[in-house]
């Protein structure tokens, strides 16, 4: 998982080693049916995210391939005020 803050936009991406992209990168209302045991994630992204997508990753030097799915959440107001981290 990777988080990237791009001034007023938070991009979250997840990578795995399975090269199979979801059958449809545009989810349908059928994918939100409550009786399904899987497959509702893209529907949730479509409802909540401002932008999202995915791409296949070619084999890397060590033989790993896979895919990355990402989504973006836009901040609707001014940038948040930085809060200092508490010392542990």
User: Looking at residue 78, what is its pLDDT?
Assistant: 65
For residues 30 and 23, the answer to whether their CB atoms sit within 8 Å is no
- Dihedral sign, Cα of residue 34, residue 40, residue 43, residue 45: positive
For residues 52 and 73, the answer to whether their CB atoms sit within 8 Å is no
pLDDT tens figures, 15-72: 888 888 776 554 555 555 556 666 677 788 888 899 888 888 876 665 567 888 889 9
- pLDDT over 70 (residue 86): no
Provide the residue ranges of all domains of the chain, joining segments of one domain with +.
Answer: 2-25+37-74
């Amino acid at each position: 998982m990777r988080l990237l803050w791009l001034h007023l936009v938070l991009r979250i991406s997840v990578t795995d080693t399975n090269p199979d992209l979801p059958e449809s990168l545009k989810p349908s209302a059928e994918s939100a049916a409550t009786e399904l045991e899987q497959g509702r994630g893209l529907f949730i992204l479509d409802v909540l995210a401002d932008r999202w997508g995915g791409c296949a990753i070619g084999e890397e030097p060590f033989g790993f391939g896979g895919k990355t799915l990402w989504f973006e959440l836009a901040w609707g107001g001014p940038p948040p005020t930085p809060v200092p981290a508490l010392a542990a």
